[in-house]
Structure 1
Amino acid sequence: MKNFTKLLSFLLVTAFVFNGCRNPAYEVNVLFDAQVITYKAGLQLTDANGGTLPGNIDVTVTGTDAGSIYDFSGTKKIYAPNGVITLGVHPKEIPTASKTLSFNVIVKIPGYEEKNIPMTIAVNQFSQEIKGITMVKTAVPTPYTSVVVKDFPLGTGGATTTISSFSTPSTAGVPQTTSIAIPAGTTFRDANGTLLTGGALTAQAINFDAGDPELVSLFPGGDLSAPNVIGKDGTVGEAFFSPAGFTDITMYVGGVEVKKFSTPINVSIQVDPTFKLDGSTTPVKAGDVLSVYSYQVSTGQFKYETEVAAIVDGGGKLAIPFTTDHLTKFIVGQVFSKKACKIVQVTFIAPWLGANSTVVSIEILTLDGTKRLDYTKSQVLFDGTKVDFKNLPPFAVSYIVRQGTTAIAAGNITNPCDGTALSVTLPNPATPVDLVTLLLNVKCPQGQITVPRFDLYYKAVGTPDSQYTLLGTVINGSIKTTLLKVGTSYDFRAYWGNTIKTVGNRPITTADMSTTVGENDFLGTKSPQYNKSLLIEACKGI
């Protein structure tokens, strides 16, 4: 595709065509080059309070194989329109049987906690997955977090003059608290070790509900499984976290972030009362020993700090008290090494799909079903699709596959660490589904061009934008799906780079909605002559 840029310009302005009746060209302005990028990975950022994320989302890629990762539009700049991040691998640097690509996605939004998300792409990992990441505002409580911000005066030399104490509030959503006490005479230093002086110390803590199912997407890295963990023995490797408590503590002097103290401060994190130690059938109790780990977002690394026996604090709740000379995120609970674990590959069997796709969510839970351990919000499946379950713990788990809110498959994985392959059969739907095909081809004088790939989202007409769900990936101009119903109208949305195109109230009038568009065909209602000129220019040199 020699003149891809001009063809792209045409398609971004004109149409992804849904052919129904007389005027089939409905305008969805998106295009990706299927001949350039075939390996992909997706992230969906959402605001923890359900609000709209701001447009100034800064996304960068770091790590070992960062040079191989591009925006799916083919640029090195990574975009996140509406919080949707779609990444692709350079065609000359794709993974091999002996080389899995590893990289980190850094997400910064003013007023929100920074995220450092480790990702991998393995050979033949073509499964289409959208990973959900929940963004939390640093000074605004959410249903899953409580927040405290407090100022303390500093004396001569930038030292506290009295014991300075503060706690996160106990709320309906987060009844547990984190309490911090700073000894009198404590001074503060930045990341370079420079003494900080100023009129006041601003201290802040965000406490997370460790028992909420959303903890998985709120946890550092977006998974309870992490590749960069310094364990109790001092070695670095992959580990799985089972959190009983989780907090983020930050402090500033004169607008400069505090990283170290002259005197250790006291921290006490109340634990989730429903938390169970591995192998136990009863909740945690006083005397049970839990580990304390810290996390640095800049490096994406967890580090073992200490082990502490749970106590009953002054408020009558179980808590883990400890001291620290540095500020960061702290996690209390159990941590399990995964250094010897292999990845479980799951094959989904659904012959009723034919050549069509469907989208499911996949939830991993404890065997008793009381705690979520991993969650994939949107997974595109064909008959025979293979999906790597990469974030499993080294103990037995259960899984539930859902379409919408309906569970369509469930089972247990007895030993997730041994890498034994698994097959999951998706049963024939109880209610017959329509097998709908959407297809667009572009016709130039020199010949016909097939539209390359992009992700397409949809929702029912009249529902809020938060209901947009992945329909699937349009490949070679075509998507075959079971999720659309003939006779129903939908809103469609697609992304390319920083461009968002929304097409509202489009009816699905027949199961086969495919067409070819050329310069003498219908080219939209808004600017057909301009669209025609773009098509003619785009076809030159093809």
Structure 2
Amino acid sequence: MKKLAIYTLMVALFGGVSSCENPLKDFNLQISTEVIENYVTLRVVDADGANVSGVSVALVSGDTEDIYNMNGYKDFKLTDNLITLGVDPARTATANNPIRFRVQFSAPGYTTQTVPVAITDASAGIQTVVLIKPTEVPDGAEEVVENVDLNPDGSTAAETTVALPSATGTGDMTLTIPSGTQFRDANGTVITGTNVQIVVTSIDANNEDAVVLLPGGDLRADQVVLDGGATASGTFSPAAVADIRMLVNGVQVRQFSHPLVVSMPVPASYVSPITGQPLAAGTVFQVFSNSGDGVWRFEQNSTVTGSASTGYRVSFAIDHLTFYMAGEFAEACSSARVINLSGDWMTNGTTAAVRVEAVWGGKVIASGQYSINASNNSISLTNVPVTGVKIVVRKEDGNILAESDLAACGQTTAIQLPNPSDATSTTSTLQLYVRCPGQTSVITLLPTFQLFYREVGTTEFKYLGSVSNGYLRTTSLKTDGTKYDFKAIWNERVKIVNDHTVTEDNTATVGTAQGDILGDHVPLTNLAILTEECNKL
């Protein structure tokens, strides 16, 4: 297996500690003399936000040659629900030249999802990928299953119309199949059987619960094939979306002998985020398809019919399956968009976990969690429209910290953040050092890892921030005796330490000198590992 030349020192600390000791004491840490600095972290969960078992990860396309896990191996798997993908330190990733590739996540019982990823020299934060079970119909979606009898030659005996309520709540969506239509597989071969099973799902892609049904689970997309054949990255503004699937004798249908007709309602409230114009009869939408390879392709234009009183509709013919979207597409800048966050509160080394959203046309089109401090205050976004995007920065409780229009392509957006803490917040510092046996100086070149917390008795871990070189200063923890559970995730390791209080200063040194810690469960083993690996330095 290919591996980067990264020299490591492993310090294994599996000891138990009393509730008032440093919550970082029991975390296993890896010390590296060469650090992967540019990376992206992806969080994979189900529709309820819970971990998914048996997730497989694959890099399926794009610029993947220099992508490794944080141990320097081309071995990609989740740790807890996170995976971090980094760029070879010898390779430079920048906003003007992002490293782009696609990552595929699959798990037994879930629909496979392929997502575009971009890495620059600014923070990509933690991005969430949601896996959905094929049997799940979330809020914002409507689904119908019908079986239609077939003739011996696999054709329909009569014209058939499949109807279901539109997910947008503005009428029925219909799929009309002409009489005599035969159904074909991906190779164009006619499939015969007693009936065809038709599954039609109407999707309100403006609903955040339903957008996860789309390929990539996002309105942003890369490699979109435009009218004329050129490709571009950008964001969709969907007016009507459907997923159409068919089976004959257990074989997936991909093509038909005659075109089928799709007719979908369009909400009268639709306003173009590109032109600002409200919906009217005669509005022309572009129709894109996605046939399961994760690529959206322009199919045709379709003109809106109807009126505000009778309802607006968009209709078009199709000759293959599966996803169809009628709407608009706004191209993105070729470079990543960089946002610099600053604030006086950063000067003392405080780290804050914030959520940054990109809003376009009144919809959140991108969202991620970021750990912000004075030395890590730049973030990057890709595949967002050139104009009309607003950046919203939120505290961990959802309250807005700051808002700003996104600057033009090639320019940096500067946002001044007020102090995210409130009047009752206290500051606590977590600091961990490593000292080799027989040495008086400590090693401070420690790995960056993600730290989560929750109050004892609650269920959901919240993001505390990124621990850099063993250090984190935060105002998110109480120092009044409140007990917390902590979870650290890095490389291929996860450690949960339960039932801890914190003080204003939580400092510890891993080593053998007086006052140092080696853990309580297996201290001799930890000492042997520490000694052996320190001798390699």
| Shorter-chain TM-score tier | 0.7 to 0.9
Q: State the 1:312 CA deviation.
A: 4.4
1:486 aligns with 2:455: no
TM-score normalised to the size of structure 2?
A: 0.86
Residues 374 and 391 in structure 1, CA contact (< 8 A), matched pair in contact too: no
Amino acid at match of 1:151: N
Q: Output the CA distance in 2 between the equivalents of 1:316 and 1:526.
A: 73
1:143 aligns with 2:139: yes
1:387 aligns with 2:379: yes
Q: State the 1:476 CA deviation.
A: 1.9
Give the 3 Å change call, closer, same or farther, for CA 492–175 of structure 1 in structure 2. farther
Q: Output the CA distance in 2 between the equivalents of 1:97 and 1:170.
A: 40
Counterpart of 2:153 in 1: which secondary structure?
Answer: helix
1:402 aligns with 2:401: no
Amino acid at match of 1:248: D
Tell which deviates more after alignment, 22-31 or 36-45.
22-31
What is aligned with 2:187? 192
Residues 456 and 483 in structure 2, CA contact (< 8 A), matched pair in contact too: yes
Q: State the 1:378 CA deviation.
A: 0.6
Identity of aligned residues (%): 30
Give the 3 Å change call, closer, same or farther, for CA 312–489 of structure 1 in structure 2. farther
Residues 23 and 486 in structure 2, CA contact (< 8 A), matched pair in contact too: no
Give the 3 Å change call, closer, same or farther, for CA 165–519 of structure 1 in structure 2. farther
Amino acid at match of 1:421: T
Counterpart of 1:63 in 2: which secondary structure?
Answer: strand
Q: State the 1:309 CA deviation.
A: 2.0
Residues 125 and 371 in structure 2, CA contact (< 8 A), matched pair in contact too: yes
Give the root-mean-square deviation of aligned CA atoms. 3.3
> Residue 509 of structure 2: which of 497, 512, 516 is its match?
516
Q: State the 1:402 CA deviation.
A: 0.8
What is aligned with 1:243? 238
Counterpart of 1:118 in 2: which secondary structure?
Answer: strand
> Residue 324 of structure 1: which of 304, 314, 318 is its match?
318
What is aligned with 2:176? 181
What is aligned with 1:14? 14
Residues 243 and 322 in structure 2, CA contact (< 8 A), matched pair in contact too: yes
Amino acid at match of 1:481: T
Amino acid at match of 1:387: I
> Residue 423 of structure 1: which of 414, 418, 423 is its match?
414
Counterpart of 1:158 in 2: which secondary structure?
Answer: coil
Render the CA deviation track for 1:474-516: whole Å, top value 9, x for unaligned. 22222233332323332222234554322222211x2221211
Following superposition of structure 1 onto structure 2, how do residues 39-50 of structure 1 map, counting pairs within 5 Å? 39-48=38-47, 50=48
Following superposition of structure 1 onto structure 2, how do residues 20-419 of structure 1 map, counting pairs within 5 Å? 21=20, 26-29=25-28, 31=30, 33=32, 35-48=34-47, 50=48, 52-95=50-93, 99-122=97-120, 124-125=121-122, 127-169=123-165, 178-214=173-209, 219-278=214-273, 283-298=278-293, 300-312=294-306, 317-338=311-332, 343-354=336-347, 355-366=349-360, 371-383=362-374, 385-404=377-396, 405-413=398-406, 416-419=407-410
Q: State the 1:457 CA deviation.
A: 1.8
Give the 3 Å change call, closer, same or farther, for CA 380–238 of structure 1 in structure 2. same
Aligned residues: 523
Q: State the 1:242 CA deviation.
A: 0.9
Counterpart of 1:333 in 2: which secondary structure?
Answer: strand
Tell which deviates more after alignment, 50-59 or 257-266.
50-59
Unpaired runs of 5+ residues, structure 1, are none
Residues 191 and 259 in structure 1, CA contact (< 8 A), matched pair in contact too: yes
Q: State the 1:293 CA deviation.
A: 0.8
Residues 95 and 337 in structure 2, CA contact (< 8 A), matched pair in contact too: no
Give the 3 Å change call, closer, same or farther, for CA 61–170 of structure 1 in structure 2. same
Residues 176 and 272 in structure 1, CA contact (< 8 A), matched pair in contact too: no
TM-score normalised to the size of structure 1?
A: 0.85
Counterpart of 1:284 in 2: which secondary structure?
Answer: coil
Amino acid at match of 2:432: L
What is aligned with 2:434? 442
Q: Output the CA distance in 2 between the equivalents of 1:226 and 1:397.
A: 16
